Each structure stands twice: as structure tokens, then as C-alpha cells.
Chain A
Amino acid sequence: MDNRNLYSVTGLFDTPDEIVQAVEVVQKEGYTKYDVNTPYPVHGLDIKMKLPPSKLGYFALVLGLTGAIGALFFMWWTMSKDYPVVIGGKPFFAFPAFIPVTFEVTVLLASVGTVLTMLFLYFRFPNLSHPLHDTDYMKSVSLDKFGISIEAEDSLFDVVRVKNLFEKLGAKKISEINFDEEFDKKPKIFEPKFIVFLIFTAIVISGASYFTLNKLLYMDPFNWMMEQSRVMPQSHSKIFKDGFGMRNPVPGTVARGSMPYLFAGQPDTAGEKLVNPYFPDERTLSLGKKKFNTYCSPCHGSFAKGDARLNGQFPNPPSLHSDKVRNWHDGRIFAVITEGQNIMPSYSQQLTPDERWAVVLYVRALQRAVNAKEDDLK
């Protein structure tokens, strides 16, 4: 037998006690390059083989710390630095809320990472082949036998001596493990066949996921309700020439309950022609007070004296207690509220005509309160 192609000589034993004893002797003989294969972890074997303590724990520690720091940094960056959002009234960097996520990521990275590290460290990933693979020896030790294999690279190795040693120890079956001439220690992942397979897989997977996510999910199982001959929102009508789905009302149409304002740009005319349709009773005055305090008081002040709380930040309106305003007709004030005046904008969107009239009545009441008549004091 050609020694160059010999990988190792193996011996098979029946019981875990025998293998422990065999390891003890092999260790004593001075062999260093040997390995033991058992169907399950045999207690105490690592001590007998004088294996150094596993370094895997340090990898787990580093990976776990990476997970913890990475998760915390990620959450700090996203939640409190890059795009801070208040969630549940908690601070941006809500540490207690981040602990569960940190814990999960730590465990995930430590466990998955340790398994991957183990594959690389002990199984020499990505190298997938080993001379012991696909041998009768490996088939036996993964079922019910306990095997030991002394490698040919060991300095003390000699086929006859090792076989004699195994026989002396009572091995049930002794065999030589050979590897083929073509057996290559280079990883097989660089073979063209494998690379082609990888590219093919990548194309199939990305094509399938593109089809699923962009086409399949948007296919309607049935669309009878969707596809009707009606004008869709934001789309063109084919029925009317101007392309609108809805018709414009006839000029001069008035909506039910609305009163058109006919004096746009003519406040003085409005003052002469318009009459307040309400009396100053409790209902109208309380409505007017509510609306005045909401919309008018920020600038005009709660008592219409032009002394509002926005004082200084905004040009102050003049007092409404001046002779000019007091001598205006109700309709004139109504016109100002409706259209605005100088810097004051229109309030026709905020106040309905009825509410405007109520505000006018309330302004009148305020004016009366400041410049009371003689009779009021009695």
C-alpha cells in the first residue's frame, strides 16, 4: 500500500470504557495527531485526550458584546438621533424599553455566531470534504461503535506498530483509511460547476421573489367590482367634453340655507344696506362671546381694547371703543369680519354669517360696557 495515500489507521471498539482506556494508552505512547469518533459525547474523554479548553467561549463573549452594543447603538441612532419620535411620552433614549431588544439581539448574535464560528474553526468550513467521510469506519462510529484514528502525519506513525497497538488494546476491527489521488485539500466551492450552480440559484431565487413581490401580489383574484364603467377618482371622464365627471351648477345657484354676500369690496354700502337679524338676547350674546374670545380676542383683546396677548409680536389693531367704530352700523362691522380690513384677514371661513352677527352684538355689548349711558348706571 502506498504510504503517500494513507490518511490514517483506525480501530473500532464496542464500549465507551474501552475507548477511554485506548485513548489513555495512545496518549501515553506519545501520539499527538489522532482523533476519536463516538456516536455520542463520552464524558471525560476530553480530559483523557488532554484537549485544551475550548476557545469558543471567547468568541461567544465577543459576539454577544457586539450584539448588545450594536443593538443599543442602532436604537440610539434611529430613535433618538436620526429621527426622534415621541412614543408613549417616554424619552427619546428610553433605555428600559430598549433592554428586551438588546437582550434578544445579544442572544441571537451569540448563538448563531457561535455555531458559525464552530463550523469555521472545527469543521474547516468552507472545506466540505475529509478523508474519513464516506468510509465504513465513519458509518460505524455514527451508529454504535467507538473509533480511534491515528493519522499518518504523526511523527511516530508506523502502520505495523499502530495496528499492533490496536490489536493489543482489543480493537474489534482495524482498517486503513486511504484518500484518492485527486483528493484536494482546496475547498470545493471554487469549482466552476459549483459557481455555475450558485449563479443559477441566485437568478432563480431573485426572479421568483421579484415575481412574487411585484407581480403576484398585485394580481386580483377577481375584479368585477373594481372594473366598472364609472369615473374613477383622479381620472378623465369620457362622457363629457370638458373631461369633468361632475357638472358645474347653473350660474346664480344658491345652496339651501346659505345667504350670499352681495357687497364684496363695498363695506360702506354693506353698512347701509345690511341689518342685524338678531336681538341681543342671552343665546346670541353667549355665542358671540364664545366666538369673539376664540377668534377675535387674540388680537383685539378680551375687551376689544386692542391690548391682546400677542402685543408686540404682531401689529396691534386699534381699539374698537373709538367713536368711529361706535358710530358704524352693524352691517359695517359685519363687512369687516367677512372681508377683513388692512392687515386683518377675512373670517368668513371660520365664522358663519349667523355667528358673525352674534359677534357684532357682543362687540356692541362691550362698547356699551366701556362707554355706558347715563341710564345704564341707574
Chain B
Amino acid sequence: MSDTGFTLDYQKKELPVKAKYAGLAFTVLGLIIVIVSYITNPERTAYNSIIGSTFVLSIGVASLFLIALEYLAGAVWSVVFRRITEFLSAVIFIVPILALPFLLNMHSVFHWSQADVVAKDTILAGKSPYLNETFFFVRLAVIFIIWGIFYFIFIGNSKKQDITMEQSQTKRNTIFAAIFMPFFGITITIVAVDWLMSLEPHWFSTIFGVYYFSGSLMAALAATTFAVVRLADLDMFGVKIKSDHYYSLGALMFAFTNFWAYIAFSQFLLIWYANLPEETYWFINRWEGSWKFITLGLIIFRFVVPYALLLTQPSKKDPKRLKIAAIWILFSHYYDLYWLVMPNYSKSGIAFSWNELGYPILCAGIIILIFTIRAKNTNLLPIGDPRLKRSIEFHL
């Protein structure tokens, strides 16, 4: 495993312009729909912006988590495409802008932010030390500052290493990864509670943060896989991405599909069995009228289909099938967030029209756009990383 005889003649290749234009086109199209939708129906767009911003946020922050996990576990296999996760983690900075529609319409989205409602409601009054507007925005700011700091530490060190080729940067990042982990656990729980769970402020579920985390990690892995397969198709890496790499990515996606199902079912089973009215109504809202079909669809789309797609060994090794599974998982993550958010907007039945199309298009476009911008001046391989050689030669 010595470094002797290993020379990597890595030549930076530019991403095709097509990708950038595609991202730009999607962004513009999505933005137009969102703006028109916001003018005609601000409340509905606010709900959609929760879905869109939590979607982009989950990919960004879970990518940051994957980077930290790689350093912390000393993982070798994923070094070769760590840059992809680094590019994807940059999307967290766009989240506050995507979240503007609902941050500007706090009162119509979050009942706990309306003073007259809280005054009449003893439960909300009891929760008001946590659920109040000032503290909400303080939390938001602190969380994004924390993520920003760790983003610049991880990515800065990683980029510097391309030039210095020093092992010390890896060591430094490993230490910061260890510091990041507890922060990550707390911050992602707070975001899940603040942005998603407090839509129904009377309801509570202690597993909700883990639920959002499990789905986020699925989405981040899927986004990484999709980008890796695309870039390997275009031969952007300059080295061969082996089936062993693909297998590891597929296995992780498969594992987190099961993890998500485990968490989602745990949440449901406890509430269903205890049968307490203050908890069950959350599921009843999602089981009445046409929402029933969305709930049943969630089980199939989010668990059964990815499970079947990724079950066998050949399917995890085949980049074509992995790409389909990755797109499917990204779609199902958006579907999951829709299921979490939209029943609060329309309790009677499914709400779906052109208003709902703006954010998915905008999210897809903005992720591609940020990815291409970040990839422009950065090597696609972390050429200074001491583990890179072993990563390229990775064997299962």
C-alpha cells in the first residue's frame, strides 16, 4: 500500500456546457412558475417552498454529513468521488432564498406564530418559549452559520490539499468531522422540528428528526450516485469507476431505504398502537379522503420500489440501473416531503396543480446549476488526498 510508483496524470476536464444550460433553463422556468404562483396564491406557494427548501436542504446537509462520515470512518472507497458530495453540499447556501416564500408568510403557514391563536390556545402558549418568531429566526441563523463554518472548513481544507498534497489537511478535517457530528444531529433535528413538525404545532413525535435524517441521507446518496454515474459516462474522472464503487453506493442506498422504512414504520406503529388522540390525528389527516392514496403511494414509492430496484447484486453493480434507482429515490424524497407538508394546506383532499410544479423544477435546476458552477474551478478528483490511490484501486 505504499505510494511508490503511483502517479496520477489527472487532467481537469470541463463539464459540458449543456449541463450548465440545462440547469439554467430549469432554474429560470421554475422561477417563473414560482413567481407567478406566489403572486396568485402566496399561501400555497409558501407551503410548496417548505417542500422545495427542505428538499434542497436535505441534499446539502446530508452531503456534508457524508463528507464528515468519510473522514471519521477513514473510508477509502468513497474518496474518489468525495468532490461530488462536496459540490452537492454547496446547495445549503441557496436554501434561505428558496425558503423566502414561507419565511415571508410565517403567519399563514405556522399557526404558532399568530399571537391571537396562541393567546386562546393553552397548549401553544405552553410551547411558546420555543415556538416563537424571534427564537425561530435565531435558530435559523445559528444553524446556517454552523453549517457554513463547517462547509468552509471541510471544503477549504480539501481544496488546499490539491496543491499542498499534505496529509495534515486530512487529519485536520477528521478532527473537525468529529466535532461536526453532534452539531449535525442537533441541527437537523431542529430543522425538521421547526420547518416540518411545527406545521401542526399540537402534534409531536420524538422520532421525527431521525425520520427527516433518514430520508435526507437517501436523497444525498441518490444525488451523489446520479452525478457519479453521469460524470463517469462522460469520462470526467479520468480514472475508471469500478463496479465495486457502484456496488458500495448501491448498497448504502439500499441500506438507507430500509433504514427509512424502519424509522417511518416505528413512528407509525407506536402512534397506531398507543392510539392517543393527540398523536393519531396527524396520521388520520393523511388517511382521510384522497390523501389515503398518497399515503399508500408513499409506502410503495419510497420503500417497495427502491427495495425491489436495489435488492439483487447485479442491480447494484450496473450503473444504468443505479441511475434509475437514484432518480427514483430523489423523486420519492420529494414525494415524501409533499406528503409531510401538503395535508396541512388542504385537509380535505389531494392538492395538486401547476402551483406544485414550480418548486421541483426550480430545485432540480438550481442543484444542477450550483453543481456546475462549483465544478468549474475545482478538480473532480481530490488529487492531494493520501487515500486516493487506494480508493481508485478499491476492491470489495
Chain B residues whose CB sits within 8 angstroms of the CB of A90 once the complex forms:
273
Determine whether A250 belongs to the interface, using a CB cutoff of 8 Å to chain B: no
Chain B residues whose CB sits within 8 angstroms of the CB of A44 once the complex forms:
395
The residue from A43, A53, A89, A99 contacting B275, defined by CB atoms under 8 A apart = A89
Known: A43-B395, A43-B396, A44-B395. A97 touches B313 (CB 8 A): no
Known: A43-B395, A57-B313. A97 touches B273 (CB 8 A): yes
Q: Which residues of A contact B (CB under 8 A)?
A: 43-44, 53, 57, 88-90, 96-97, 99-100
Determine whether B115 belongs to the interface, using a CB cutoff of 8 Å to chain A: no
Known: A43-B395, A44-B395, A88-B273. A99 touches B313 (CB 8 A): no
Chain A residues whose CB sits within 8 angstroms of the CB of B395 once the complex forms:
43-44
State whether A96 touches B272 (Cβ < 8 A).
yes
Which residue of chain A has its CB nearest to the CB of B274?
Answer: A88
Chain A residues whose CB sits within 8 angstroms of the CB of B396 once the complex forms:
43
Instruction: Give A88 to B395 CA distance when docked, in angstroms.
Output: 52
Question: In the assembled complex, how far is the CB of residue A321 from the closest CB belonging to chain B, in whole angstroms?
Answer: 49
Label chain A's interface by main secondary structure: loop
State whether B313 touches A53 (Cβ < 8 A).
yes
Label chain B's interface by main secondary structure: helix
Known: A43-B395, A43-B396, A44-B395. A99 touches B269 (CB 8 A): yes
12 additional contacts, CB 8 Å, given A88-B275, A96-B268?
A43-B395, A43-B396, A44-B395, A53-B313, A57-B312, A57-B313, A89-B275, A96-B272, A96-B273, A97-B269, A99-B269, A100-B269
Instruction: Give A89 to B395 CA distance when docked, in angstroms.
Output: 54
Instruction: Give A88 to B274 CA distance when docked, in angstroms.
Output: 9
Instruction: Give A100 to B395 CA distance when docked, in angstroms.
Output: 35
Instruction: Give A43 to B244 CA distance when docked, in angstroms.
Output: 11
Interface string of B293-333 (1 = CB under 8 A from A): 00000000000000000001100000000000000000000
Question: In the assembled complex, how far is the CB of residue A196 from the closest CB belonging to chain B, in whole angstroms?
Answer: 46
Interface string of B256-288 (1 = CB under 8 A from A): 000000000100110011010000000000000
Q: Which residues of B contact A (CB under 8 A)?
A: 265, 268-269, 272-273, 275, 312-313, 395-396
State whether A96 touches B313 (Cβ < 8 A).
no
Question: In the assembled complex, how far is the CB of residue A189 from the closest CB belonging to chain B, in whole angstroms?
Answer: 35
Which residue of chain B has its CB nearest to the CB of A54?
Answer: B313
Chain B residues whose CB sits within 8 angstroms of the CB of A99 once the complex forms:
265, 269
Q: List 20 A-B contacts (CB under 8 A).
A: A43-B395, A43-B396, A44-B395, A53-B313, A57-B312, A57-B313, A88-B273, A88-B275, A89-B275, A90-B273, A96-B265, A96-B268, A96-B269, A96-B272, A96-B273, A97-B269, A97-B273, A99-B265, A99-B269, A100-B269
- The A/B interface has a contact count, at CB < 8 Å, of 20
Chain B residues whose CB sits within 8 angstroms of the CB of A43 once the complex forms:
395-396
Instruction: Give A96 to B273 CA distance when docked, in angstroms.
Output: 9
Instruction: Give A258 to B395 CA distance when docked, in angstroms.
Output: 94
Question: In the assembled complex, how far is the CB of residue A77 from the closest CB belonging to chain B, in whole angstroms?
Answer: 22
Instruction: Give A90 to B265 CA distance when docked, in angstroms.
Output: 17
Chain B residues whose CB sits within 8 angstroms of the CB of A100 once the complex forms:
269
Question: In the assembled complex, how far is the CB of residue B221 from the closest CB belonging to chain A, in whole angstroms?
Answer: 23
Instruction: Give A97 to B272 CA distance when docked, in angstroms.
Output: 9
Instruction: Give A63 to B214 CA distance when docked, in angstroms.
Output: 28
Question: In the assembled complex, how far is the CB of residue A95 from the closest CB belonging to chain B, in whole angstroms?
Answer: 10
Instruction: Give A364 to B56 CA distance when docked, in angstroms.
Output: 82
Chain A residues whose CB sits within 8 angstroms of the CB of B272 once the complex forms:
96
Instruction: Give A89 to B273 CA distance when docked, in angstroms.
Output: 9
Which residue of chain B has its CB nearest to the CB of A88?
Answer: B273
Chain A residues whose CB sits within 8 angstroms of the CB of B265 once the complex forms:
96, 99
Instruction: Give A100 to B268 CA distance when docked, in angstroms.
Output: 12
Chain B residues whose CB sits within 8 angstroms of the CB of A96 once the complex forms:
265, 268-269, 272-273
Which residue of chain A has its CB nearest to the CB of B269?
Answer: A96
Instruction: Give A43 to B76 CA distance when docked, in angstroms.
Output: 15
Question: In the assembled complex, how far is the CB of residue A75 from the closest CB belonging to chain B, in whole angstroms?
Answer: 15
Chain B residues whose CB sits within 8 angstroms of the CB of A57 once the complex forms:
312-313
Question: In the assembled complex, how far is the CB of residue A354 from the closest CB belonging to chain B, in whole angstroms?
Answer: 44
Question: In the assembled complex, how far is the CB of residue B277 from the closest CB belonging to chain A, in whole angstroms?
Answer: 13
Chain B residues whose CB sits within 8 angstroms of the CB of A53 once the complex forms:
313
Question: In the assembled complex, how far is the CB of residue B305 from the closest CB belonging to chain A, in whole angstroms?
Answer: 18
Question: In the assembled complex, how far is the CB of residue B144 from the closest CB belonging to chain A, in whole angstroms?
Answer: 38
Question: In the assembled complex, how far is the CB of residue A320 from the closest CB belonging to chain B, in whole angstroms?
Answer: 47
Instruction: Give A44 to B272 CA distance when docked, in angstroms.
Output: 49
Instruction: Give A152 to B375 CA distance when docked, in angstroms.
Output: 59
Question: In the assembled complex, how far is the CB of residue B361 from the closest CB belonging to chain A, in whole angstroms?
Answer: 36
Question: In the assembled complex, how far is the CB of residue A48 from the closest CB belonging to chain B, in whole angstroms?
Answer: 12
Question: In the assembled complex, how far is the CB of residue B68 from the closest CB belonging to chain A, in whole angstroms?
Answer: 27
Chain A residues whose CB sits within 8 angstroms of the CB of B312 once the complex forms:
57
Chain A residues whose CB sits within 8 angstroms of the CB of B273 once the complex forms:
88, 90, 96-97
Question: In the assembled complex, how far is the CB of residue B313 from the closest CB belonging to chain A, in whole angstroms?
Answer: 7
Instruction: Give A100 to B270 CA distance when docked, in angstroms.
Output: 12
Chain B residues whose CB sits within 8 angstroms of the CB of A89 once the complex forms:
275
Which residue of chain A has its CB nearest to the CB of B244?
Answer: A43
Instruction: Give A97 to B274 CA distance when docked, in angstroms.
Output: 11
Instruction: Give A59 to B346 CA distance when docked, in angstroms.
Output: 48
Question: In the assembled complex, how far is the CB of residue B4 from the closest CB belonging to chain A, in whole angstroms?
Answer: 15
Q: 7 closest pairs, A vs B, by CB? A: A43-B395, A96-B272, A96-B269, A44-B395, A97-B273, A99-B265, A43-B396
Instruction: Give A43 to B273 CA distance when docked, in angstroms.
Output: 47
Instruction: Give A330 to B275 CA distance when docked, in angstroms.
Output: 54
Question: In the assembled complex, how far is the CB of residue A349 from the closest CB belonging to chain B, in whole angstroms?
Answer: 40
Question: In the assembled complex, how far is the CB of residue B284 from the closest CB belonging to chain A, in whole angstroms?
Answer: 15
Question: In the assembled complex, how far is the CB of residue B269 from the closest CB belonging to chain A, in whole angstroms?
Answer: 5
Instruction: Give A88 to B273 CA distance when docked, in angstroms.
Output: 8
Which residue of chain B has its CB nearest to the CB of A87?
Answer: B273
Chain A residues whose CB sits within 8 angstroms of the CB of B268 once the complex forms:
96
Instruction: Give A97 to B265 CA distance when docked, in angstroms.
Output: 10
Chain A residues whose CB sits within 8 angstroms of the CB of B313 once the complex forms:
53, 57
Instruction: Give A288 to B162 CA distance when docked, in angstroms.
Output: 97
Question: In the assembled complex, how far is the CB of residue B247 from the closest CB belonging to chain A, in whole angstroms?
Answer: 13
Instruction: Give A43 to B313 CA distance when docked, in angstroms.
Output: 17
Question: In the assembled complex, how far is the CB of residue B169 from the closest CB belonging to chain A, in whole angstroms?
Answer: 29
